[in-house]
Amino acid sequence: MRINKLTIVSVVLLIVIASLYRIIPGRPLGFAPQIAMALFGGSVIKDRKLSFLLPFLSMFFSDILFEILYQNNLSAYGGFYHGQIINYIFFAAITFIGFAIKKENVLHIFAGSIAGATAYFLLSNFSVWIGGGLDISNMPYPKNISGLISCFIAAIPFYKGSLLATFVFNTVLFGGFYLANNYIVKTSTISA
């Protein structure tokens, strides 16, 4: 029973911390824990339906916080925006990638990190292009191959940040999970 309570508390804290981290002003472009959380949730949480909750709740709570800050003129970005549902669907897709990650295999975690960040980069920027997103000059990207390439090129700084963040946060999440399972849980099981 203690482990179940510990797991619940850990998941809630993880969601709260990730939500708060995402709204920190001035963090590097794309450097947020949600891709790593989707991969971790898909890999570690046994109940497949619940595995989608980790990134979803983290995104949802941080979007609520963004909206509150925006409504009070404390942020330039609102939490609720056109295309938000598509963004949530992309995180669900990344959770599916997490299903293929063996949680104690460093190579799987590394490959999953690359696959997750890259999938998000490709999906989100394709949707920006197809949905009439604006370039740096506030003009819609042209609906041709050159417009698509321009959209992807403009998003490279975000991709670099999300790739680095996914490596860092997956190291923390999977590493913490490994340490907890091999030292905390085994120690409490032995002493009980």
Domain ranges of the chain: 2-174
The predicted pLDDT at position 10 comes to: 74
How far is CA 107 from each of CA 32, 38, 44, 130, rounded to the nearest angstrom? 22, 17, 16, 34
Domain topology for 2-174 = Arp2/3 complex 21 kDa subunit ARPC3 (1.10.1760)
Average pLDDT of the residues of the chain = 88
Residue 104 has pLDDT above 60, yes or no: yes
3-state secondary structure of 139: coil
Query: Which residue, among 67, 57, 63, 62, has the nearest Cα to 92 in the 3D structure?
Result: 57
Residue 75 has pLDDT above 90, yes or no: no
